[in-house]
Amino acid sequence: MRILTDLIVILPLLSTPLWAQSITVWWARSFDETHFLATEGLVRAQYSLGVMYYKGEGVPENAAEAVKWWRKAAERGYAKAQYGLGYMYNNGEGVPTNDAEAVKWVSKAAQQGLARAQYNLGLMYSIGKGVPTNGAEAVKWYRKAAGQGYAKAQNNLGVMYANGEGVPRDYAEAVKWYRMAAKQGNDRAQHELGLMYRDGVGVVRNYRRAHMWYNIAASQGDDFASTGMTFLETQMTPGQIDDARKMATRCLESGYKACN
């Protein structure tokens, strides 16, 4: 069975909604005020100042300065700064690339419960980036992030169950986690859920539901799902296809609440 795996090791820091929400109060302040508070030792201001330097908010972009201020906050145990510092070491921004340092700081943030750090630490164990490959450890960290509702971790946990990596193979459990991620709009999970329904793996075979999830994933730009849907239609009647399209519309219009 083909399973799409996520090979992105560190999520782009600036694309995470939670991250953006976390510093809204500090963005309302000027750069000078944030800098003053940071130099006075306020840890959240140190983190926010690093963000300002990284993104160029009120000051020219400067990765080295971002690292400097994130390090100050990270060394005082601020999880988001720890994750940011790990991100910089992973990508070689403001510091030389160093996988061991990336793991060190991402791990510190993960241990404090930061979901995106837990997810990325799971990825590092999945592919052996900065640590030996360890499926069981990957599952452990995916599960922690998945339990917090982190869709990418839910999808990857489904992958691990489908492939029997780090856990005994369990297709029903894979479907469970794919479904959770799919209902949050994760296109990879939607695609895989379509595949499971198409082949009757972990669920009773149902071409309408397979088509529905393929269609929803394809609407987000998943070309593989679009190809799978086109092929599946050769196995379906026009009535079944029409039903499946209506199901997809209902699912999306309900905000993924009416997808069963």
Each residue's pLDDT, cut to its tens digit, for the chain (260 residues) gives 434 343 333 333 333 433 334 444 445 579 999 999 999 999 999 999 999 999 999 999 999 999 999 999 999 999 999 999 999 999 999 999 999 999 999 999 999 999 999 999 999 999 999 999 999 999 999 999 999 999 999 999 999 999 999 999 999 999 999 999 999 999 999 999 999 999 999 999 999 999 999 999 999 999 999 999 999 999 999 999 999 999 999 999 999 999 97
Q: Do the Cβ atoms of 115 and 17 come closer than 8 Å?
A: no
If you search the block for the tokens 């795996």, which residue do you land on?
5
In angstroms, what CA-CA distances link 110 with 145, 173, 255? Answer: 9, 24, 30
| Contacts by residues 36-39 (CB-CB < 8 Å, ≥ 24 positions apart) | 38/69, 38/72
Q: How far apart are CA 234 and CA 158, in angstroms?
A: 28
- Cβ atoms within 10 Å of 118's Cβ, excluding its own: 27
pLDDT at 260: 78
Supply the pTM of this predicted model: 0.87
Q: Which candidate, 90, 87, 152, places its Cα nearest to that of 119? A: 152
Q: How far apart are CA 224 and CA 125, in angstroms?
A: 27
Tokens coding 245: 């399209």
- Cβ atoms within 10 Å of 144's Cβ, excluding its own: 21
Domains, the chain, in order of start with CATH, read 1-133 (1.25.40.10), 142-255 (1.25.40.10)
In angstroms, what CA-CA distances link 22 with 14, 17, 179? Answer: 12, 9, 28
